[in-house]
Amino acid sequence: MNREKPAGADWMRQQERSNLAILKLMVWISLTLGRRIGRIVLYGIAAYYVLFAAKARRASRAYLQRALDRWAEWGDGFRHVFSFASTIHDRIYLLNDRFDLFDIEVIGAEALHAALARQPGALLIGAHLGSFEVLRAVGRGRAGLKVAMLMYEENARKINRTLEAINPAATEDIIPLGRLESMLEARDKLEQGYLVGMLADRSLGDDATVDCEFLGKMAPFPVGPWRMAAMLRRPVFFMTGLYLGGNRYQIHFEPLADFSETPRAEREAAMLAAQRRYAERLTHFCRLAPYNWFNFFDFWQKK
């Protein structure tokens, strides 16, 4: 096991042109002109980033060549960015309960419901793969599931500012990480029967990491989400909401671990096993839906 503290997380050093800027632009376009016109504008946005965001373009190609197992063409890079922009665009409608616009399939919900029947609350560990928003929105509007999201505090502030312009109620289910109260808030949500989600593929600059095999090469994954999962003592599920093009999404749930009865002496081994399983399933879904991976930096770079 290789645990290290990187000097700084590349995704934090890199200027994130994407999230807030695109969200604000697409909120205005979509609420003013509608989804069909908004999707036409997405083509221009995707083309701009493919042409002018050189660093992100190189990272996209390096990732796609691993996921596709072939040379990644310009068209692959465009499709990658367009998929990212599409999921951001669709948040606007999902947060306003416009489920009639989408064809959403859910796979693996039976195991999740069985876990919730045994005790309240479960943890969902995802990645920057597809759309987490499709789960939050569908859970709130269709299945009666309550979903909260743990995210880094700076990201939480950016997302909250934009979500307030779309649907102020959506900000109530975001728990910022990096505060003393974060663990307590997550625990309270779980006891209220919430699904609490975390993304486990990016780290803060001083986070410890473990190297796991991902798409054929060892890559650093943060330990923090697994420490929190073990401390919260709940079943853990891999979750992803894959964007399949057009108006189609496919939500997957897969059991990863159950820390509810893990003895303290076995916790470290259970965390490592769960993290390796997570990296293996992430590899699987990146190959299944390669244009859904939204980390536009060198993920395998050693710090």
Residue 9's region, left for phi above 0, alpha for psi from -120 to 50, else beta, is beta
The answer as to whether 297 is a domain residue is no
> How much is the pLDDT for 29?
76
The answer as to whether 42 is a domain residue is yes
Q: Which residues span the domain enclosing 287?
A: 16-292
Task: Classify strands 217-222 and 209-214 as parallel, antiparallel or unpaired.
Answer: antiparallel
Kindly write down the DSSP assignment for every residue of 139-166, as one continuous string: IIIII---EEEEEEHHHHHHHHHHHHHH
> How much is the pLDDT for 141?
57
> How much is the pLDDT for 11?
38
Partnered with residue 129 across adjacent β-strands are 293
Contact predicate 124/195, CB 8 Å: yes
> How much is the pLDDT for 171?
59
Partnered with residue 196 across adjacent β-strands are 123, 148
**Residue 53 phi, psi dihedral angles, 5° rounding:** -95, 80
The answer as to whether 185 is a domain residue is yes
Reported as a single tens digit per residue, the pLDDT across 152-161 is 756 545 555 6
> How much is the pLDDT for 4?
47
The answer as to whether 303 is a domain residue is no
Helix (H) or strand (E) holding 239: strand 235-243
> How much is the pLDDT for 18?
47
SS3 123: strand
* The dihedral sign for the CA sequence 39, 297, 278, 182: negative
The answer as to whether 207 is a domain residue is yes
Contact predicate 262/287, CB 8 Å: no
> How much is the pLDDT for 302?
64
**DSSP state at residue 293:** B
**Total number of domains in the chain:** 1
**Residues written for the chain:** 303
- Both tokens of 217, joined, read 């090469």
The answer as to whether 299 is a domain residue is no
> How much is the pLDDT for 153?
57
**Residue 242 phi, psi dihedral angles, 5° rounding:** -75, 135
Task: Classify strands 217-222 and 235-243 as parallel, antiparallel or unpaired.
Answer: unpaired
Reported as a single tens digit per residue, the pLDDT across 39-80 is 888 898 899 999 999 999 999 999 999 999 999 999 999 999
Residue 108's region, left for phi above 0, alpha for psi from -120 to 50, else beta, is left
Share of the chain above pLDDT 90, in %: 55
Instruction: Tell me how far apart the alpha carbons of residues 212 and 201 are, in angstroms, rounded to a whole number.
Output: 11
> How much is the pLDDT for 269?
94
Report which of 51, 37, 45, 38 is spatially closest to residue 19, judged by C-alpha positions: 45
Which residue's structure tokens are 């303290």?
264
Q: In what order do the strands lie in the sheet with 147-152?
A: 103-107, 248-258, 235-243, 122-126, 195-199, 147-152, 174-177
> How much is the pLDDT for 6?
44
> How much is the pLDDT for 176?
80
The answer as to whether 133 is a domain residue is yes
Contact predicate 208/4, CB 8 Å: yes
Contact predicate 243/86, CB 8 Å: yes
Amino acid at 236: V
**DSSP state at residue 20:** H
Q: What are the helix (H) ranges across 53-176?
A: 54-68, 74-94, 109-118, 133-138, 153-166
The answer as to whether 9 is a domain residue is no
> How much is the pLDDT for 222?
92
Q: State which residues of the chain have pLDDT below 70.
A: 1-24, 26, 139-144, 153-172, 204-205, 302-303
